[in-house]
Amino acid sequence: MRSETTQNKRRNFIKIIGAGAIITATSAFAARGGKTKTTTTAELSEEQKDTLFFIFQEEKVARDVYITLGKLYPDESTFANIQLSEQEHILSAQVLCERYGIDTSSVNLSQDDDYVGQFELLSMQELYNQCIELGQVSLLDGLKVGRLIEVTDIDDLEKAAEGMPSDVVNTYENLKEGSLNHLDAFEKAIAREE
């Protein structure tokens, strides 16, 4: 398990604002300043490795939230469709982790009920729990949670790419493109429900 210091660095700050149950999530790495150009070396700093692991777990949060909300709202295909894509996102992030020597063995990627919604990073566990709490209020709220997850993923991927090697940047760009497509799907589903 990652050290408490690492968890604190990566902790998402989740805030519920008003009765509309709007949540925002930002990570410590997303808020930091830093290099803006891409590096070409295969060596990563511990902070960059932590960022890769964070993105890996953040993709699992998205998939697991969509699995859970998809079971809650089985007539809404958006969750099921995007969940399948999120599985590919997880695997892409896992490949990067393995390439750079980041151990992901503690994270069970099974879609069995015993493992969906289980996270090593406390911040990811809190984010998942909060998303499910908000998403179970109604289908519309669940779709809005999906929209927020995708907006947050896009922002986090952009920030996480700073200073990373080109292979990481390319993967993050692909993940971001997928998240933009997911965001569009959630926007359309929300428009149908409003």
Mean pLDDT value of segment 111-137: 91
Q: Tens digit of pLDDT for each residue in 141-180? A: 999 999 999 999 999 999 999 999 999 999 999 999 999 9
Does 25 have pLDDT greater than 80?
Answer: no
d(CA 119, CA 13): 16
| Cβ pair 179, 88 in contact under 8 A | no
- Lowest mean pLDDT segment, chosen from 66-70, 108-112, 132-136, 158-162: 108-112
Name the pLDDT band for 135 (thresholds 50, 70, 90): very high
User: What are the sequence ranges of the domains in the chain?
Assistant: 4-193
Name the pLDDT band for 113 (thresholds 50, 70, 90): confident
> At which residue do the structure tokens 């760009």 appear?
173
Mean pLDDT value of segment 56-80: 96
| CATH code linked to domain 4-193 | 1.20.1260.10
| Cβ pair 162, 35 in contact under 8 A | yes
Q: Tens digit of pLDDT for each residue in 79-101? A: 999 998 999 999 999 999 999 99
Mean pLDDT value of segment 20-30: 34
Look at residue 114 in the predicted model and tell me its pLDDT.
81
| Cβ pair 175, 89 in contact under 8 A | yes
Does 132 have pLDDT greater than 90?
Answer: yes
Look at residue 69 in the predicted model and tell me its pLDDT.
97
Name the pLDDT band for 42 (thresholds 50, 70, 90): low
The 8 Å CB, 24+ separation contacts for 137-143 are 137/21, 139/73, 139/76, 139/193, 140/190, 140/193, 140/194, 141/21, 142/69, 142/72, 142/73, 142/76, 142/79, 143/76, 143/78, 143/186, 143/189, 143/190, 143/193
Name the pLDDT band for 26 (thresholds 50, 70, 90): very low
